[in-house]
A and B are shown apart, each in its own frame.
Chain A
Amino acid sequence: MTAEKMSLAKALNESLRKSLETDPKVLVMGEDVGKLGGVFRITDGLQKDFGEDRVIDTPLAESGIVGTAIGLALRGYRPVVEIQFDGFVFPAYDQIVTQLAKMHARALGKVKMPVVVRIPYGGGIGAVEHHSESPEALFAHVAGLKVVSPSNASDGYWMLQQAIQSDDPVIFFEPKRRYWDKAEVDTEAIPDPLHAARVARTGTDLTLAAYGPMVKVCLEAAAAAQEEGKSVEVIDLRSMSPIDFDAVQRSVEKTGRLVVVHEAPVFYGSGAEIAARITERCFYHLEAPVLRVGGFHAPYPPARVEEEYLPGLDRVLDAVDRSLAY
């Protein structure tokens, strides 16, 4: 085993490096990804080692970044594009939704779209407007796209390489407030499939399902609940499209209770989808309605109050208590 402790940011950097080394068709593109190494330094040193032809600084034009990536994919390349922040993806939303997602179907399968769109997302870093959003549901709703989010360095390392190897377009949401969290990364392990959920902690009384930045909060909540004598299982979904409902179902059939946690607004969010499907699948196993904890139907608030908007330990534990009270 060649495990090494590294931050999520470093793991993603290593993952891109490995992909660039392995496949000459892989390209990294985006604003400031070259000399600067990206505003979060995820692409640090890559242009130096792979050249401006492989690690491409682009004009400040998100639609152009994704649109040209589509053209490069049609030519046989595998572009990995970086959108600098979540709220800046919307100028590219048209290209992603009307073109990238549909090209394979439009060509009756004759062309593939191996494009990865990396988006640092979510709040908790005290940023200004448009720098803290969680738009994953907007992408998961679109057929033709796959949507994933690692919660830790190991998944960051493996899931990004898997996303790059996929022949489908993958929207790769990186939880920016976890960039500096370190974890063991075994670079020779056999990774889980890209879209498989993972049991992050086992328990018997209730299931918490989360992904990306909220997995850590849920693990903390489960540990706190343990001190009160409650056994909480935590599922790291890892993929929002597709969702590994089988894994969630297995857990809920055991625990009888489910709380879904995400930073994005609850209204029309991924929690709604999970609640509906799990209710269908597990109706006779459920001891309580599926509850959701997430953001409000309001613009992401100014940094000084974002901790009130974001689901924290107390709000998650409150939902655990409400579920167990049924």
Chain B
Amino acid sequence: MTVESTAASKPRRSSKRVSAVAEKGAAASAEQGVAASPAKAAAKRAAARKSAARPQQAGQRGEQAGRQAEPELVQLLTPEGERVEHPDYDVDLSTEELRGLYRDMVLTRRFDSEATALQRQGELGLWASLLGQEAAQIGSGRALRDDDYVFPTYREHGVAWCRGVDPTNLLGMFRGVNHGGWDPNSNNFHLYTIVIGSQTLHATGYAMGVAKDGADSAVIAYFGDGASSQGDVAEAFTFSAVYNAPVVFFCQNNQWAISEPTERQTRVPLYQRARGFGFPGIRVDGNDVLACLAVTRSALERARRGEGPTLVEAFTYRMGAHTTSDDPTRYRHDDERQAWEAKDPILRLRRFLEAQGHADEAFFTALDEESDVLAKRVREAVRAMPDPDDMSMFDHVYADGHALVDEERAEFAAYQASFADASQEGK
């Protein structure tokens, strides 16, 4: 019996939160042979998580837990900004392209922080921040061709940026004026999907259609570590494998599904799931934009060659809350975030650009100014966003119309008109 299954068989405590911490603690203490208090367990857990993020130190823990050792991440740029070689993956980018990736990440982060601020100011009902995941999104997003098709979750603001979707379009659903609102076909960027994992099946079906059409484009589905537990994701893996669909599953493992850690989703590293479905999985340093670009590009090319799906696990970290409604201080420690801040995707590329002399102070200053302009534009666009017309709730329920919708629209219009009549009578 493994350490983890022993821990799992312990009776639950009454408080869910205490119970979750206690079970974690039990697992950690069983390894170390000491009794665990919830507080100590939490501290140990944070320490364990930090080591899990460092592949070279994670082997012992992984083996004790009955797993394989934590794998190496594909990495091309270290947190210190040093360019490193990988035997299987590489990118050869011009200075301009490197600066472009940096610019994308900076502008995306600025857009994201502006949206968070707008939520705090009451302009948006909710916001799902991508803070910390810029490299995963920009790296994968810049690997795409125009004719590829993207199926995002609700956090892919950086990918949307790469697709040329006007960022203000992303804010409509968070302001509450629509549930998506853009034409997915204008940028080959599907609507944000809120139900976890549903879009992986849509991506698979779309990819099956691409194959039927004989096209050589590819499809990419974004999802998170939490979604990996959903049946739909498993079904998408099954369908894509048996139909050899040209789809790349891009899992941003940001370590937390709201308050549930990755350990609550899986007992094997997520990328290894792919093997059981019959296609390759690869773990990439999700905070390394170059590695994300290289690995995604390779997976997309594989799909285009007719070799079927690939699972890419971008190992990254959600630095902020799940959404603005969430309070991560209730379930995770500051030291964890600080450890990941040292691996910041933007900072490491900046260090590289500076060390190589690819960018000077003027470049960074100009980019700061561009960020300010973007933030101002977003702020003004949100504030100017009109509420939808009352009657629009009846629009687009059906493509071919529906008698009941027509009837209710007419009734509601008459009801609304009655107020206008009443105000006329009062004059």
B37 to chain A, nearest CB (A): 40
B201 touches A72 (CB 8 A): no
User: How distant is the Cα of A124 from the Cα of B202 in the complex, in angstroms?
Assistant: 36
Q: In the assembly, what is the distance between CA of A242 and CA of B198, in Å?
A: 27
The total of chain A residues at the interface (CB under 8 A) is 48
Beta-carbon contact of A59 and B404 below 8 Å: no
Question: Bound complex: CA of A182 vs CA of B49, how far in Å?
Answer: 67
- Of B58-66, B81-89, B205-213, which stretch is located at the interface? B205-213
Q: Is the CB of A77 within 8 A of B212?
A: yes
Q: Assess whether B400 is interfacial by the CB under 8 Å rule.
A: yes
Instruction: Kindly list chain A residues whose C-beta atoms are within 8 Å of the C-beta of B183.
Output: 107-108, 110-111
A304 proximal to B (CB < 8 A) = no
Whether the Cβ atoms of B191 and A107 lie closer than 8 Å is yes
Q: Name the distance in Å between B376's Cβ and chain A's nearest Cβ.
A: 27
Beyond A64-B201, A70-B202, whether A111 also contacts B397 by CB under 8 A is no
* Chain B interface size, under 10 / 10 to 19 / 20 to 34 / 35 or more: 35 or more
Mask, A69-113, CB within 8 Å of B = 1, is 111111111010000000000010011001100111111111111
Most buried by A among B181, B213, B403: B403
Residue of B nearest to A70 (CB): B202
Chain B proximity of A250: nearest CB distance (Å): 14
A108–B202 touching, CB < 8 Å: no
| Nearest residue, chain A, Cβ from B198 | A99
| Given known A-B contacts A59-B235, A75-B205, A241 and B179 have beta carbons under 8 A apart | no
Q: B209–A75 contact, CB under 8 A? A: yes
Inter-chain contact A58/B239, CB cutoff 8 Å:
yes
B413 located at the interface, meaning its Cβ lies under 8 Å from any Cβ of chain A in the complex: no
Asked whether B202 lies within 8 Å of A71 as measured between CB atoms, the reply is yes
Q: List A contacts of B193 (CB < 8 A).
A: 99
Q: Say yes or no for B38: interface residue by CB 8 A criterion.
A: no
Q: Is A11 an interface residue (CB 8 A)?
A: no
Q: Smallest Cβ distance from A71 to chain B, in angstroms?
A: 2
CB distance from B177 to the nearest CB of A (A): 11
- Say yes or no: is A187 at the interface (Cβ < 8 Å to chain B): no
Taking Cβ atoms with an 8 Å cutoff, the residues of A that contact B are: 53, 58-59, 61, 63-64, 66-77, 79, 91, 94-95, 98-99, 102-113, 143-144, 146, 166-168, 195, 241-245
Provide a sorted-by-A list of 14 A–B residue pairs whose CB atoms are within 8 angstroms. Answer: A64-B201, A64-B235, A66-B201, A67-B198, A70-B202, A71-B201, A71-B204, A72-B208, A75-B209, A75-B210, A95-B201, A107-B191, A109-B399, A144-B398
